[in-house]
Amino acid sequence: LFSFLVFLRYQIYYGYPLQTYLEYPIIIAQDVILLLFILRFSGKTKRALFYAVTFWGGWYMLTLRKWIIDLAMNLCTLISAASKLVQLRCLWQTKDSGQVSALTWSMSAYTSA
């Protein structure tokens, strides 16, 4: 979600045409809805306000200075790769892949690379 927010803000900040980033608001909305469902069904609904304030504050802080948005854009690749490593570590510890298929992980690793 962080990466999508940074990509969207970066493209708006630098004035890219709307057609180049139109899918990001849709993807962000899907991720936010999924996050709300996860928080709701895990009994942590009150944390949703904290996350909303954090992301809203981050949205405006990204464009306080040009170097902040550029640095955040460069860190997105690192953050995406780190999230995949955290997921793999969790799978390794639980020894249960659940519904994860080799094709899904291959596509995810390819897009992160």
Q: Is residue 39 part of a domain?
A: yes
Please name the amino acid found at residue 16.
Y
Q: Is residue 5 part of a domain?
A: yes
Distance CA 16, CA 8 (A): 10
Q: Is residue 89 part of a domain?
A: no
Q: Is residue 88 part of a domain?
A: no
pLDDT, residue 99, reads 61
Distance CA 44, CA 64 (A): 32
DSSP-assigned states of every residue in 54-73: HHHHHHHHTTSSHHHHHHHH
Q: Is residue 59 part of a domain?
A: yes
Q: Is residue 103 part of a domain?
A: no
- Calculate the CA 111 to chain-centre distance: 13
In terms of pTM, does the model score above 0.85? no
Q: Is residue 108 part of a domain?
A: no
Q: Is residue 91 part of a domain?
A: no
Distance CA 69, CA 66 (A): 6
The residue written with tokens 């057609």 in the block is 19
The count of domains in the chain is 1
- Residue 59 structural domain: 1-82
Task: Dump pLDDT digits (tens) for 24-67.
Answer: 888 888 888 888 888 888 888 888 888 888 888 887 888 788 88
